Every structure is written in structure tokens, then in C-alpha cells.
Amino acid sequence: MEQQLAMGFSRRMASKASFSGSVFSVGALLLIALLATALAACAPGGGSASSAHTTASALDVAITVVDDQARVGAHGLLTVGVKFAETVHLTQGETFTCNGRPLGTDESGQYDLQGAVPLAPVGGAYTFVYTRAGVVTTVRIPAPQRLTVMAPTNGATLPRNQSLVVRYTPTQDSASGIVASDAAQSATVSAGAAPGNGQFILPAYGLAKFQPGPAGMTLRQSFITNPLHSGFHSIAITYMSVATVAVIWQ
């Protein structure tokens, strides 16, 4: 069964059991405790998350797509990652893919599963598919317009004695941030912008601390959504766009 991403309200399942109407002897209670211990020891994985806990409806998932233009430009691939809220053991043949490419264990530890996929065109999508026991859960993330720096241009020579206005075309209506550094990486200055603003102002008092020479500034924009009725217990999606501009401080 394929479950498509949609807006709505997710259901949370809960169960409650109770004992009533009986009086247990101390011996009976001890027997129950011993039986419970024995059953727990025989549970799949010896106390680790069992296969039943890997159904999509039981998983709290965070999906991240990182469009870092400096890295994507080198090989045409961007990074996607999946992280679970709790420790999950995928030992029953479960698979997670993005645009048909399998996601594997992230040895760095930043994500639980990680992969590299080709940059999707604007209007395209990053389609994540989780498959378990023949049940398919699909999450589709539309590919937005890429973050574009309008000014300063790459390689521009900039003064350090006056404020700098950085103009950009936002990918989506979300908050942004910028960090600029000097040639020696000894000083940095940062600024934030409100959603849809399209510009940063780097103050002169911060730039005055910079050493002259070639350096760079990095713009980041993150768009976070928490869609419901995705098929997962809960899901958080982060789409991060990163653009870097090389400049020369005068």
C-alpha cells in the first residue's frame, strides 16, 4: 500500500491494559514476574527494537536535503539524510531510497541513513520511499528554485570600511543567514534576514576587523515543514540551500 504525503492530522495509537476483579497471592505474583522475565529474554533482538517497531506508523523520522552548491557543482550530487528519533534496527529487509537510490548507513553519525542523489530540476522532486514487508510509504519533497546571490558577484573586490548589502533570490519564503570571513579566517561577521527579505546587511564595524585579501561568504537558507498523514508516526523535513561567494576584501 502506498501512502502519499498530504496535510492533515496524524493519529497516535495508544493501548491500555488493566487487571481487575482478582486477588493474587504472593506466589502467583512471583510466578507472573518470572514468566514475564523469561518472555522478555526471548523477544527478537534480545531487548532491542523488534521488527514490529519498524513499521512506518511507528517511526518518528527526520529527512534532510542539503543543496550545497559548492559541492553539488563538482559532481552534480547533493546529500540527503534520514534520522530516527530513537534507535531503530532495520534487520527485516527494510529499505529506504531517494529517487531510486538506496540510502546506506552514515558512518559520520550525522544521520542514521545517508546518500547522494542527482540534483532535481525546479519543479521536480526528491521522492523518499520506505519499504517494509511489501508495504511502501512515500514522501515527496518538491525541488524549489535554487538560492541565487545577486550581489556581490563572485570575485568582487569589496571595501572593509563601509556596510555591505548582500542581495539574493530566496529559494522559499523562509528565514536565512549569512556568514562572511576574512582572508586569514581570523574574523567573521554574520547577519540574518526575515522570510522573503532577499537581502542582508553586513555592518561596517564588523568588516573593519577583517584582514585584506581573498575570502568568502556563505549564505544558508533552511525551510522546515512537519507534514501530517505521511504514513510515518511523525516526520520533519528540512530543505537546506547553501551558496558561497568568493570575494576580495580591500
Q: Are 158 and 180 in contact (CB under 8 A)?
A: no
3-state DSSP assignment of residue 249: strand
Give the separation between CA 197 and CA 176, rounded to whole angstroms.
9
pLDDT in the model for residue 170: 74
Which among 172, 170, 195, 190 has a CA at the least distance from the CA of 180? 190
Mean pLDDT over residues 126-142, rounded? 95
Rounded Cα distance between 113 and 128, Å, is: 12
**How much is the pLDDT for 198?**
83
Spatial contact of 149 and 245, defined as CB atoms under 8 Å apart: yes
Minimal CA–CA distance to 60: which of 77, 85, 43, 41?
85
* pLDDT over 50 (residue 63): yes
* Segments making up each domain of the chain, as ranges: 53-60+74-142, 148-249
Q: Where are the alpha helices (DSSP H) in the chain?
A: 26-41, 69-75, 204-207
- Angle CA 66–197–119, to nearest 5: 25
Q: In the CATH scheme, what architecture does the domain 148-249 have?
A: Sandwich (2.60)
- In 40-109, the DSSP E strands lie at 60-68, 77-84, 95-98, 101-102, 104-105
172-230: per-residue pLDDT in tens?
A: 666 678 888 988 888 898 888 776 678 888 999 999 999 999 998 998 888 888 888 89
Cα(193)–Cα(202) distance, integer angstroms: 11
Q: What's the whole-model pTM score?
A: 0.72
pLDDT digits (tens, 9 = 90+) for 163-181: 999 998 877 666 678 888 9
DSSP string, 143-189: --PPPEEEESPTTEEE-SSS-EEEEEE-SSSS-EEEEEE-TTS--EE
Cα 57 to Cα 237: distance, rounded to the nearest angstrom = 17
Percentage of the chain lying above the pLDDT 70 cut? 76
The answer for residues whose C-beta is within 8 angstroms of residue 142's C-beta and 6 or more apart is 123, 124, 125
* Low-confidence winner among 33-37, 91-95, 155-159 (lowest mean pLDDT): 33-37
**Side chain identity at 86, as an amino acid letter?**
E
